[in-house]
Structure 1
Amino acid sequence: MNKDQWIGMCLAMMGAIFWGLSGTAVQYLESAKHINVEWLLEVRLLVAGLLTIIIAYVREGNRTFSVFSSPKDILQLLIFGAIGISLGQYTYFRAIGISGVGIATVLQYVASSMIIIYFLLRYFRKPSIAEIVCVGLAFFGTLCIVMQHGFDFAAINREALFWGLLSAASISVYTVQPVSLLKRYGTIPIVGFAMFICGILAVFLFQQFESEAIWDGMTWLGLFAIIILGTVVSFNAFMEGIRRIGSIQGSILSSIEPISATFFGWAIMGDDFTITGLLGIACIISTIFILAWDRQRQMKREVLKKLNKEEIV
């Protein structure tokens, strides 16, 4: 595996880690500071989107706005923002409100399987054995982490199942759909405009102008973790990661999020680990090494094929 692929894997993992931190911060602000989730979603998208656009403009100048020269690409940008980013966050929050973060997170990680099925049906791309194993390990590991204090499936109801699977579908969209846009225009401008435009749409949809929060230093720290680390840094890092390594590998590596959430939950919220939770962490971490081995094996096979063709010629 070359340097670019290693960087892609590290970026995808960084995004997942900061997502976990962001989720813990959301839980803290909801439970301890009584913040309004709809208001938080609006502010998160608007502020993070605007900051990302500014960063893109500083780095690339007027090229930042190149995506708006193509009506087709504008449509793709809106689909990515509305269905991939905004709907993904909203449906995840709804699922948490109905069934709790454990069940919601398990349902969310059905996304990896959805992506593999999508590639199989549309492009007849058969997943490798390593990818199938990693999907299974990632899902089982996530299940162990979020339900480490007891496996109780009685909490799942139809409404929770609907919102949870819709969240997984949204994750599939923002993992697969924007890849071509990212390659043409770069990661930062696309993510920035998608967030900002959909932040405006969220304001019109929810019309929540009051945070209802208890404001102090910890509230501002929580917002920093959610907006800057958990949105600006995480989304851009993850999108750049999948641009380098592909959608399927990126979606599997995103399963590191529950490890991050578990750790930060222990460090910040006082949550504890169990043997089941540690088993889940081990399963998810193992997918990183399996994917690295699989990519290296595929590259060696491609090199050998190329050498054999040159010998025949």
Structure 2
Amino acid sequence: MKSYKLIGVFLTLFGAILWGISGTSVQFLSHYKHINLEWLITMRLLTAGVLTVIYAWYHQGSSIIKVFHNRTDLLDLLTFGVLGMALCQYSYFQSIALAGVGVATVLQYLAPSMIIVYLLIRYGKRPSSGESFSVLLALVGIVCLMGHDGLSVESIPYAVLLWGLLSAVGVAVYSVSPVALLSRYGTLPIVGFGMILSGIVAAILFHQPHSDVVWDWETVIGCFNVVFLGSIVSFNAYLEGVKRIGAVPGAILSSVEPISAALFGWALLGNEFTLVGIFGMICIIATVFIIAWDRQRQIKRDVLNKLNKEEVT
């Protein structure tokens, strides 16, 4: 059992680190190889989607296409793909190009706070004390991270903030919207078809026949990191790890992603951060730990309440 969970921890960390490497590769390709981000996101979605569907077909057979037999589920799948996966990745790539991989990845970790606010506005679900504190801490982190060159309104890069928040919204959408689909059809078919559909939409919207990209072995390795390691390998490693150790420890360990992205960006691409900016990163990353701890506490409390009710009856 110990080795089973130890492998789960390793796989979860491995997947998160690969995401960090993928983000660093996006910055490298954008800044040094002049690659079209629209082309890159389209290739990533289509290639990863097709390979994921092939893998799902091998394990589950023709049952994976059942989602296309239900019009409502198909619409939900399209929403998940376009407003979730495509929006998240495109805005994430844009924020990387503008601010560097460290800042962009940390901003994406505002997604849990976005979900809390969405549940409050949409369903009137009042956040717990831990969730409320995490949202406030996230706001402090944004101010510090965006104004790290000087805490003034003029210093805040609004384009970075916009794309970063949109990437967090995308993560929130694809974390919440496909829950029913995943339970009915499984993870691999939904993720694979979601990628393919969003990739087709991206190809139509972002078609760019002209490119100034510099093709060499470094560009090929960068694209390999983004399309293969950063999508297929990382996603499957992370899911397998979470299956072994649980969702809460997985969410905590996933915070290695922004740390690794910041370190890779600093070591390989020369990204720099001030103390205020680093403090902002710590605040945002800390929200993952707080929310994970708070949810675990709520689960234990609900179990105890249920046991007490059973004893009374």
Q: State the TM-score bracket (shorter-chain normalisation).
A: 0.7 to 0.9
Tell me whether 278-287 or 119-128 shows the greater mean CA deviation.
Answer: 278-287
Contact 2:24–2:101 at 8 Å: present in 1 too? no
Pair 1:15–1:124, CA change in 2 (3 A):
farther
| Within-5 A mapping of 1:80-91 | 80-91=80-91
TM-score (norm 2): 0.78
Instruction: Give me the whole-angstrom Cα distance separating, in 2, the residues matched to 1:155 and 1:254.
Output: 30
- The residue that corresponds to 2:21 in the other structure is 21
Letter in 1 for 2:222: G
Contact 2:26–2:93 at 8 Å: present in 1 too? no
Pair 1:245–1:217, CA change in 2 (3 A):
same
Instruction: Give me the whole-angstrom Cα distance separating, in 1, the residues matched to 2:220 and 2:294.
Output: 43
Instruction: Give me the whole-angstrom Cα distance separating, in 2, the residues matched to 1:103 and 1:281.
Output: 8
Instruction: Give me the whole-angstrom Cα distance separating, in 1, the residues matched to 2:115 and 2:254.
Output: 13
Instruction: Give me the whole-angstrom Cα distance separating, in 2, the residues matched to 1:25 and 1:150.
Output: 29
SS at match of 1:294: helix
- The residue that corresponds to 1:50 in the other structure is 50
Instruction: Give me the whole-angstrom Cα distance separating, in 1, the residues matched to 2:118 and 2:77.
Output: 20
Tell me whether 153-162 or 178-187 shows the greater mean CA deviation.
Answer: 153-162
Report the alpha carbon displacement of residue 137 of structure 1 after superposing the two structures with TM. 3.9
- The residue that corresponds to 1:79 in the other structure is 79
Report the alpha carbon displacement of residue 230 of structure 1 after superposing the two structures with TM. 1.9
Letter in 1 for 2:81: G
Report the alpha carbon displacement of residue 90 of structure 1 after superposing the two structures with TM. 2.5
- The residue that corresponds to 1:133 in the other structure is 133
| Within-5 A mapping of 1:298-313 | 298-313=298-313
Instruction: Give me the whole-angstrom Cα distance separating, in 2, the residues matched to 1:71 and 1:185.
Output: 14
Pair 1:223–1:298, CA change in 2 (3 A):
same
| Within-5 A mapping of 1:1-313 | 16-95=16-95, 108-138=108-138, 140-141=140-141, 151=151, 153-156=153-156, 162-209=162-209, 212-235=212-235, 256-271=256-271, 275-276=275-276, 279-280=279-280, 282-283=282-283, 286-287=286-287, 289-313=289-313
Instruction: Give me the whole-angstrom Cα distance separating, in 2, the residues matched to 1:179 and 1:14.
Output: 25
Tell me whether 46-55 or 284-293 shows the greater mean CA deviation.
Answer: 284-293
Task: State the identity as a percent.
Answer: 53
Instruction: Give me the whole-angstrom Cα distance separating, in 1, the residues matched to 2:128 and 2:245.
Output: 15
Tell me whether 144-153 or 222-231 shows the greater mean CA deviation.
Answer: 144-153
Report the alpha carbon displacement of residue 272 of structure 1 after superposing the two structures with TM. 5.1
Letter in 2 for 1:172: A
Report the alpha carbon displacement of residue 302 of structure 1 after superposing the two structures with TM. 2.1
Instruction: Give me the whole-angstrom Cα distance separating, in 2, the residues matched to 1:237 and 1:191.
Output: 15
Report the alpha carbon displacement of residue 301 of structure 1 after superposing the two structures with TM. 1.7
Pair 1:254–1:84, CA change in 2 (3 A):
farther
Contact 1:84–1:170 at 8 Å: present in 2 too? yes
TM-score (norm 1): 0.78
Q: Which runs of 5+ in 2 are unaligned?
A: none
Report the alpha carbon displacement of residue 140 of structure 1 after superposing the two structures with TM. 4.3
- How big is each residue's C-alpha offset from its partner over 1:252-307, in whole Å with a ceiling of 9 and x where there is no partner? 98665432210111232233565445545654564455445434422332232122
SS at match of 1:51: helix
Contact 2:146–2:161 at 8 Å: present in 1 too? no
SS at match of 1:80: helix
Instruction: Give me the whole-angstrom Cα distance separating, in 2, the residues matched to 1:84 and 1:158.
Output: 22
Question: What do you get for the CA RMSD once the two structures are aligned?
Answer: 4.1
Q: Which runs of 5+ in 1 are unaligned?
A: none
Report the alpha carbon displacement of residue 27 of structure 1 after superposing the two structures with TM. 0.7
Tell me whether 165-174 or 80-89 shows the greater mean CA deviation.
Answer: 165-174
Contact 1:182–1:243 at 8 Å: present in 2 too? no
Report the alpha carbon displacement of residue 104 of structure 1 after superposing the two structures with TM. 5.7
SS at match of 2:21: helix
Letter in 1 for 2:187: T
